[in-house]
């Protein structure tokens, strides 16, 4: 059975004869207690009460009764000052966490005046060159109360160091701050493309960040493994979870190899999963994932503490489900995707904005997303009871089938030598890209329905771009950013900079944990480009495997 | 059916210029053109204009397809078209796909881009356009 494309087989009278989900699971017309019997359903073993192993229902006993989800819209554009203003706007509107978007030069470790950064400075996120930019972006934000996701990977070490130093400057001790650098390089190599260094040293850097956070910033979650982008790149929901777990296992292995036990650090490895697609498949995916992760930690890694076994993370986004056609309909799609996240028990969430296919969100579209999440949580009853779909013949059967599918996909990766090999050789990249191609062809053939795209395509008054205000990119952003960078370069103590960079290079060469050295370089106002250059000299750069 | 003209297949370079890392669209198009019988080279991510032009020369491609989702399509295309001219490759066609606002399409065409395929363009349309418009060049 081919996977990656949901199938609905119908007869001439449009009666549905057969339903196959993207992950390759066939759905029956109805389910009965016999189905539960067939899968050997056992409440204690398969579900347990909320807050009890294997945590299928929830990692917390009270679910949303105790605590509603954290809302964290992805925000950041232009200069640090504009980003700071948008942070404050979203917090004033009831958002409960921050999620920082960086521009592409920053994500690639380039200074704003690098020739390769031309035209990109501040375009899709905030530009950061030195600590000065963080001082501006986080001015007036209560860093001991607000948790911050930093969407940065190849140079997560640098941004986390900046976050620590800026917090200290504003009077917050490192052990009071809670950051989540994304810090997941393997998925960048599969999907999002913001990689710099080769696989081995990249994993080593991730290990450094985990080890350092454990000791210095114990409230910080040093990794957010993103099945999200792997799914966006063409993976099925089952592959999304399977690949993310194999990536997480790779990082855990790196830290365990250094002599630590999972109970010391693995609670800080969190996840970011996607929410678009078939509603039931999503809910079953989250339930199965919570259960499997707990079992992996307990059985494979020997976790003793409950919190080590918790699958924590952000379930949200939904970008690839949104359409360019009739864009206002994405508001509706987003609400249903968010419902899937809530029924799946997301602790943290965010929603792509309806204009995502055109532009980075304007205040208007970002607020609609935030309000959608607030309506779900506060208006229609999603906080009433934990895991409301539990016990459904269908959902429990599907959850079990998803669990099996995820395990199959994980085994496939094991067979070819683990995730490191799968990424280095391009195996996963080719697999998901080819699935994405099949998915696109099926969409164009109309094998599955996408409203406004291959059915009900007459937009009528719904229009297309008419509904979207484009976020205007201001080229002055780059000028202003480069001016500030030059000012910092003029006023910083150059001897401190060269000394700190030299020490960083020595540490990297000797294979020491580089984090304390990155912190010192950041404190001396070394630039993102200067620090990245040191890493490039020592580690080299990743070479992308071919797709054919 | 193979997309042959005067003894050779249409040769297409699919390139990801600049820093943007979203390559799903580029890869989908690469697979589609290959399946349609063309010779396809995919550059991979983070290519400079210099790299793209030198690959185009080395591989002697007929068509250059750029995939840009970062919003920087105008400065990127201006630079590419200028350099193609300098290298005497004006007879090759350049097409662009990605997140491209409607109002930028005429601007791109004025720069010399032959066609723009914003997100959501059917693959068949891209294939047909390239088959029809690829320059009729002889084997070297």
Q: Once rounded to an integer, what is the mean pLDDT over residues A117-135?
A: 94
Distance (Å) of CA B132 to CA A156, A287, B5, B13, B26:
47, 51, 11, 17, 20
Question: Domain-by-domain residue ranges, chain A?
Answer: 7-57+67-71+182-455
* Closest CA in chain B for residue A468: B101
Q: Residue B140: pLDDT above 80?
A: no
Q: Are strands A348-349 and B93-98 parallel, antiparallel or unpaired?
A: unpaired
In this prediction the pTM is 0.95
CATH number 1.10.2020.10 given to A7-57+67-71+182-455 = no
Q: Considering CB atoms only, which of B31, B40, B123 is closest to A434?
A: B31
What domains appear along chain B, each with residue ranges and CATH number?
A: 8-131 (3.40.50.280)
CB contact under 8 A, B118 and A324: yes
Nearest-Cα distance to chain A for B121, in Å, is 10
Q: Considering CB atoms only, which of A436, A453, A465 is closest to B24?
A: A436
CB contact under 8 A, B124 and A433: no
Distance (Å) of CA B40 to CA A259, A285, B45, B59, B129:
48, 37, 15, 10, 15
* Closest CA in chain A for residue B33: A437
User: Helix (H, G, I), strand (E, B), or coil: what is residue B58?
Assistant: helix
- Which residues of chain A does B101 touch, with a Cβ-Cβ cutoff of 8 Å? 358-359, 465, 470
Structure tokens at A384: 């009433």
Q: Once rounded to an integer, what is the mean pLDDT over residues A129-149?
A: 97
Residue entry with tokens 């001082």: A135
What pLDDT, in 10s, does the model give residues A269-289? Answer: 999 999 999 999 999 999 999
What pLDDT, in 10s, does the model give residues B33-50? Answer: 999 999 999 999 999 999
Nearest to B99 by CA among B131, B130, B121, B132: B121
Nearest-Cα distance to chain B for A547, in Å, is 8
CB contact under 8 A, A357 and B122: no
Structure tokens at A206: 């991730």
- Which residues of chain B does A116 touch, with a Cβ-Cβ cutoff of 8 Å? 18-19, 48
Distance CA A27, CA A400 (A): 13
CB contact under 8 A, B120 and A470: no
What pLDDT, in 10s, does the model give residues A178-235? Answer: 999 999 999 999 999 999 999 999 999 999 999 999 999 999 999 999 999 999 999 9
- Which residues of chain A does B119 touch, with a Cβ-Cβ cutoff of 8 Å? 324, 357
Distance (Å) of CA B77 to CA A53, B13, B120:
56, 15, 21
> Is the Cα dihedral A333, A335, A339, A342 positive or negative?
positive
* Closest CA in chain A for residue B78: A119
Q: Residue A102: pLDDT above 90?
A: yes
High-pLDDT (> 70) share of chain B, %: 93
Judge residue A59's burial from the number of C-beta atoms within 10 Å of its C-beta, 0-12 exposed, 13-18 middle, 19 or more buried: buried
Distance (Å) of CA A62 to CA A51, A96, A219, A383:
8, 19, 22, 10
CA neighbours closer than 13 Å in the CB half-sphere of residue B10: 27
pLDDT of B119? 87
Structure tokens at A133: 């930019």
ipTM for the complex?
Answer: 0.92
Distance CA A484, CA A477 (A): 11
Q: Considering CB atoms only, which of A108, A233, A546 is closest to B24?
A: A233
Sheet strands side by side (includes B115-118): B39-42, B11-15, B63-68, B93-98, B115-118
Nearest-Cα distance to chain A for B6, in Å, is 26
């Amino acid at each position: 059975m081919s996977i990656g494309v949901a199938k609905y087989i119908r007869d001439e009278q449009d009666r549905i004869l057969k339903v196959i989900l993207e992950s390759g699971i066939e759905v029956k017309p109805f389910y009965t207690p016999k189905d539960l019997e067939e899968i050997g359903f056992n409440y204690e073993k398969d579900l347990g009460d909320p807050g009890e192993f294997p945590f299928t229902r929830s990692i917390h006993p009270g679910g949303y009764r105790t605590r509603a989800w954290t809302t964290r819209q992805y925000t950041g554009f232009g200069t640090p000052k504009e980003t700071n203003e948008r942070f404050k706007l979203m917090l004033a509107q009831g958002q409960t966490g921050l999620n920082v978007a960086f521009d592409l030069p920053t994500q690639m470790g380039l200074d704003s005046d690098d020739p390769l950064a031309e035209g990109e400075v501040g375009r899709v996120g905030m530009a950061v060159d030195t600590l000065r930019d963080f001082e501006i972006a986080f001015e007036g934000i209560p860093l001991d109360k607000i948790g911050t996701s930093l969407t940065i990977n190849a140079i997560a070490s640098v941004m986390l160091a900046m976050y620590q130093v800026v917090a200290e400057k504003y009077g917050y001790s490192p052990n009071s701050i809670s950051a989540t650098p994304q810090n997941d390089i393997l998925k960048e190599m599969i999907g999002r493309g913001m990689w710099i260094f080769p696989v081995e040293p990249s994993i080593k850097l991730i290990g450094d960040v985990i080890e350092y956070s454990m000791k210095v910033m114990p409230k910080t979650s040093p990794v957010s493994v993103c099945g999200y982008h792997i799914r966006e790149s063409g993976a099925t929901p089952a592959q999304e979870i399977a690949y993310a777990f194999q990536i997480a296992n790779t990082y855990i292995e790196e830290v365990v190899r250094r002599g630590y036990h999972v109970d010391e650090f693995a609670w800080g490895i969190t996840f970011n999963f996607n929410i678009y697609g078939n509603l039931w498949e999503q809910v079953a995916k989250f339930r199965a994932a919570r259960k499997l992760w707990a079992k992996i930690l307990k059985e494979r890694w020997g976790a003793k503490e409950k919190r080590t076994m918790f699958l924590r993370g952000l379930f949200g986004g939904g970008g690839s489900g949104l359409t360019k056609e009739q864009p206002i309909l994405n508001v509706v799609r987003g609400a249903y995707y968010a419902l899937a996240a809530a029924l799946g028990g997301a602790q943290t969430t965010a929603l792509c904005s309806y204009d995502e296919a055109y532009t980075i969100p304007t205040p208007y579209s970002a607020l609609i997303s935030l309000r959608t999440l607030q309506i779900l949580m506060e208006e229609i009853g999603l906080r009433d009871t934990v895991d409301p779909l539990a016990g459904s013949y269908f959902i429990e059967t599907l959850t079990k089938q998803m669990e099996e599918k995820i395990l199959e996909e994980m085994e496939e990766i094991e067979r070819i030598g683990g995730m490191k090999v799968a990424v280095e050789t391009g195996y996963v990249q080719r697999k998901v890209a080819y699935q994405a191609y099949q998915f696109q062809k099926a969409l164009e053939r109309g094998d599955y329905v996408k409203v406004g795209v291959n059915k009900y395509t007459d937009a009528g008054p719904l229009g297309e771009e008419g509904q979207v205000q484009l976020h205007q990119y201001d080229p002055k952003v780059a000028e202003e950013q480069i001016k500030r960078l030059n000012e910092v370069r003029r006023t910083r103590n150059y001897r401190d900079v060269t000394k700190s960079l030299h020490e960083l290079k020595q540490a990297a060469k000797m294979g020491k944990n580089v984090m304390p050295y990155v912190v010192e370089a950041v404190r001396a106002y070394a630039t993102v480009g200067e620090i990245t250059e040191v890493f490039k000299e020592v580690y080299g750069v990743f070479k992308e495997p071919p797709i054919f | 059916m193979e997309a042959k003209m005067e003894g050779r297949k249409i040769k297409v370079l699919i390139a990801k210029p600049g820093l943007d890392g979203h390559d799903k669209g580029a890869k989908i198009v690469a697979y589609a053109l290959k399946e349609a019988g063309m010779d396809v080279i995919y550059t991979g991510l983070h290519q400079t204009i210099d790299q793209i032009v030198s690959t185009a020369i080395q591989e002697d491609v007929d068509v250059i397809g750029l995939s840009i989702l970062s919003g920087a399509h105008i400065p990127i295309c201006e630079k590419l078209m200028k350099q193609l001219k300098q290298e005497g490759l004006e007879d090759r066609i350049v097409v662009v796909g990605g997140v491209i606002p409607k109002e930028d399409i005429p601007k791109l065409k004025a720069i010399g881009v032959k066609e723009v395929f914003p997100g959501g363009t059917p693959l068949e349309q891209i294939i047909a356009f390239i088959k029809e418009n690829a320059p009729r060049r002889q084997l070297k």
